[in-house]
């Protein structure tokens, strides 16, 4: 079945540092890929998405590129801020294998940004 693997957290960075959170996936169809963010005490918010190979999703300075050859969708940001501290979830939705819009999530990676 479909699965998503994320790097273990927590990741602790200093403000203005470069961020990479690795995400790889397995899927039998042609998935859409997503990054969701969960701020403390809040629900899941869509951060960015990519629906086909080589697409780049971007939002709020975060970027991720859909790499079919490496089945990856790594999240990056050039300069993190304290306000980026949250849990980040990589997810996929595999429409063509009958999964509908059901999301399969990774375990989440907690990011802590310090001054």
Residue 6 host element (H or E): strand 3-6
> Considering beta carbons, is residue 80 or 99 the nearer one to another protein?
99
For residues 79-98, which are near another protein according to CB under 8 A? 89, 91, 93, 95
* Residues between 5 and 64 with contacts to another protein, criterion CB under 8 A: 32, 36, 42-46, 49, 51
- Count of residues in contact with another protein, rule CB under 8 A: 23
Instruction: Tell me how far apart the alpha carbons of residues 97 and 43 are, in angstroms, rounded to a whole number.
Output: 28
Choice from 74, 75, 84, 106 touching another protein (CB under 8 A): 106
Rounded CA gap, 90 and 97, in Å? 19
Q: Are 28 and 83 in contact (CB under 8 A)?
A: no
State which residue, 16 or 52, has the beta carbon closest to another protein: 52
* Rounded-to-10 torsion of CA 57, 58, 62, 67: 20
Q: Which parts of this chain interact with another protein (CB under 8 A)?
A: 32, 36, 42-46, 49, 51, 89, 91, 93, 95, 99-108
């Amino acid at each position: 079945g479909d699965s998503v693997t994320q790097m273990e957290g927590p990741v602790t960075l200093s403000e203005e540092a470069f961020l990479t959170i690795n995400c790889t996936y397995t899927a039998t169809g042609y998935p859409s890929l997503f990054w969701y963010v969960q701020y403390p005490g809040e629900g899941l918010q869509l951060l960015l998405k990519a629906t086909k190979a080589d697409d780049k999703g971007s939002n709020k300075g975060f970027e991720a590129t859909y790499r079919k050859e490496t089945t990856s969708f790594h999240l990056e940001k050039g300069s993190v801020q304290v306000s980026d501290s949250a849990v980040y979830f990589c997810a996929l939705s595999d429409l063509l294998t009958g999964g509908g819009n059901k999301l399969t999530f990774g375990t989440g990676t907690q990011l802590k940004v310090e001054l």
